[in-house]
Amino acid sequence: MKELQWEKAAGNGLLNRRHLLQLGLTGLGAAGASAAFGQDAGAILQIPEWSRMPGANASAYGERSRYAGDLQRMAGTPDPIYPGGGSSRTPLQFLQGTITPNALHFERHHAGIPDIDPAGHTLVINGLVRQPLAFSYENLLKYPMVSRINFLECSGNSGALLRGGNADGTAQSLHGLLSCAEWTGVPLSTLLDEAGVSPEARWVAAVGADAASMGRSVPIEKALDDVLVALYQNGEPIRPGQGYPVRLFCPGWEGNISVKWLTQLKLMREPAQFRDETSKYTDTMPDRSSLQFTFPMGVKSLITSPSGRMNLPRPGIYQVTGVAWSGHGAIRRVEVSADGGATWAEAEMQAEPGDKALARFTIPWEWSGGPAVLQSRAADSAGNVQPVRDEVLAARGTISFYHNNCIQSWGVDDGGAISNVYV
Ligand X SMILES: Nc1nc2c(c(=O)[nH]1)N[C@H]1C(S)=C(S)[C@@H](COP(=O)(O)O)O[C@H]1N2
Tell me the closest approach of the beta carbon of residue 205 to ligand X, in angstroms. 13
Tell me the closest approach of the beta carbon of residue 336 to Mo ion, in angstroms. 28
Rounded CA gap, 95 and 354, in Å? 18
Q: Tell me, letter by letter, the H, E, C secondary structure of 100-125.
A: CCHHHCCEEECCCCCCCCHHHCEEEE
Q: How far apart are the first and last CA of the chain?
A: 39
Q: Pairing mode, if any, of strands 262-268 and 122-127?
A: parallel
Which residue's Cβ lies closest to ligand X? 208
- Provide DSSP, 176-220: -SEEEEEEEEEEHHHHHHHH-B-TT--EEEEEESSTT--EEEEEH
Q: Which residues pair with 412 in a beta bridge?
A: 372, 418
Helical segments of 47-159, H only: 137-140
Cβ closest to ligand X, residue 255 vs residue 327: 255
Tell me the closest approach of the beta carbon of residue 326 to ligand X, in angstroms. 17
- The residues, ordered by sequence, that sit 6+ positions from 18 with a Cβ below 8 Å of its Cβ are none
Determine if 255 is a binding residue for Mo ion (CB under 5 A): yes
The entry of Mo ion, ligand X, none that residue 258 binds, CB within 5 to 8 Å by partner kind: ligand X
User: Which positions touch ligand X (CB under 6 A)?
Assistant: 105-110, 152, 154, 208, 210, 212, 214, 241-242, 255-256, 258-261
Q: Coil, strand or helix: which one is 10? A: strand
- The residues, ordered by sequence, that sit 6+ positions from 403 with a Cβ below 8 Å of its Cβ are 155, 254, 283, 294, 297, 298, 396
Cβ closest to ligand X, residue 290 vs residue 319: 290
Cβ closest to ligand X, residue 154 vs residue 229: 154
Cβ closest to ligand X, residue 110 vs residue 148: 110
Tell me the closest approach of the beta carbon of residue 255 to ligand X, in angstroms. 3
Tell me the closest approach of the beta carbon of residue 160 to Mo ion, in angstroms. 14
Cβ closest to Mo ion, residue 12 vs residue 100: 100
The entry of Mo ion, ligand X, none that residue 95 binds, CB within 5 to 8 Å by partner kind: none
Tell me the closest approach of the beta carbon of residue 345 to ligand X, in angstroms. 33
Cβ closest to ligand X, residue 260 vs residue 300: 260
Tell me the closest approach of the beta carbon of residue 269 to ligand X, in angstroms. 24
The entry of Mo ion, ligand X, none that residue 208 binds, CB within 5 to 8 Å by partner kind: ligand X
Cβ closest to ligand X, residue 295 vs residue 367: 295
Rounded CA gap, 260 and 50, in Å? 45
- From 73, 108, 222, 396, residue interacting with Mo ion (rule: CB under 5 A): 108
Q: What one-character DSSP code corresponds to residue 383?
A: S
Rounded CA gap, 204 and 220, in Å? 6
Residues contributing to the site for Mo ion (CB under 5 A): 108, 154, 255-256
